Amino acid sequence: MMFAERLRRLKQQLTAADVDFLALVPGPNLVYFTGLRMHLSERPIVALLPANDAPPILIAPAFEVGKASAELAWRTYSYADGTPYQAAFEAAANACDLHGKTIAVEPLGMRMMEWTLLSQAVRQLKHVFATELIAPLRMVKDATEVAKIRQAIALAESAFTRTLGHIRAGMTEREVAGVLMSHLLSAGAQSLLFEPLVQAGPNAANPHAHAGNRPLQRGDLVVIDFGAVVDGYGSDITRTIAIGEPDAEMRAVYEVVKAANAAGRAAARPGATGEAVDRAARAVIESAGYGPSFTHRTGHGLGLEGHEPPYMVRGETTILQPGMTFTVEPGIYLAGKGGVRIEDDVLITAEGSETLTTLTRELIIL
């Protein structure tokens, strides 16, 4: 019933935009609307979800079509390994009268392989980008989705707390990441949202540097960015810790970022915009004189994807609504010295917002 309701709302979006089909490849959107979990590979897979009441269409390898739930009464067109893919696409185009239709495609998901096969099979194919059709549906999470995000957060926080007991000077960034990954998986994460980022000392001045072989040293600030996935939904958390007392400047930078994080979360409420959240956090950092050192947006939506709408960034005019989940993660990065980032996961509620992450924001000194 959940997928039937999601498809009903999708059909309304497609009809209003005068679009006949939404074309999806394996990924979060396909999971969201149909529950169908498949992997992108060298074998093309395309699902076509119609604006009318006809059943959805699936073009896939013969051994994969059995995954299609009978609940949605899929029309399936398959090919066997070693045979041309094009025949299955042409059969779907002819049987389902796709010719001359307008199809919405995922601009960040549809590959040239699938698009070329569709374009060759469908005469007079017209296309539009699907982002503005899908985003309003996925941005607002229902209670079940929020519960899964809460689980992913609780699991990640537990793993991080356990990891703290193992961190010591002399360990490499990579060793810390390995311990954290082990705890995330042993705690029950189905997968990791991404490989944990562990950046110590000067390396922390690069917001997205991968964990390397640099040993942790006394006085280092260490940025640790991590997330877990529970039933497809993720958490995304960053904490900055210290190996011994950091120097006075970096200690002060930490306090500025903590204040910016609090300001961003305080600005998150129904009726506000992502731009307003970004502006609130950024104003704290700019007033402290570190504006040029805050080099990324304040946050991003969180759900089936680690980065999804809405975004907490200048120019984001999407109105925040109850059920939206996103990160607030201001940071300051000083080349040659280090960096600080504090990232929390936030839920917009009817009354304002709830910070879902519970880890302390005070500097943890090991």
**Look-up of token digits 């060298």:** 42
Confidence at residue 152, expressed as pLDDT on a 0 to 100 scale? 98
Angle between helices 131-139 and 2-16 (to 10 degrees): 140
Put simply, whether the predicted model's pTM sits higher than 0.75 gets the answer yes
CA distances from 236 to 49, 53, 62, 261, 325 (A): 31, 38, 37, 15, 11
Q: By C-alpha distance, which of 116, 3, 114, 112 is closest to 49?
A: 3
Angle between helices 173-186 and 143-164 (to 10 degrees): 130
Half-sphere exposure of 184 (CA within 13 A, CB side): 28
Contact 28, 304 (CB under 8 A): yes
As a dihedral over the C-alpha atoms of residue 83, residue 87, residue 89, residue 91, rounded to 10 degrees, the angle is -140
Confidence at residue 171, expressed as pLDDT on a 0 to 100 scale? 97
**Pair of tokens at residue 217:** 């040293």
**Look-up of token digits 């013969």:** 62
Confidence at residue 89, expressed as pLDDT on a 0 to 100 scale? 97
CA–CA distance, 215 with 167 (Å, rounded to integer): 11
**Pair of tokens at residue 304:** 């089936």
Residues 6+ apart with CB under 8 A from 152: 189, 193, 227, 228, 229, 230, 233, 234, 235
Write out the E strands in the chain: 21-24, 46-50, 57-61, 75-79, 102-105, 126-129, 191-192, 197-200, 221-226, 228-230, 233-234, 237-242, 299-301, 308-312, 325-328, 331-334, 338-341, 344-348, 353-355, 364-365
Confidence at residue 136, expressed as pLDDT on a 0 to 100 scale? 95
- Which residues in the chain show pLDDT less than 70? 1
Confidence at residue 347, expressed as pLDDT on a 0 to 100 scale? 98
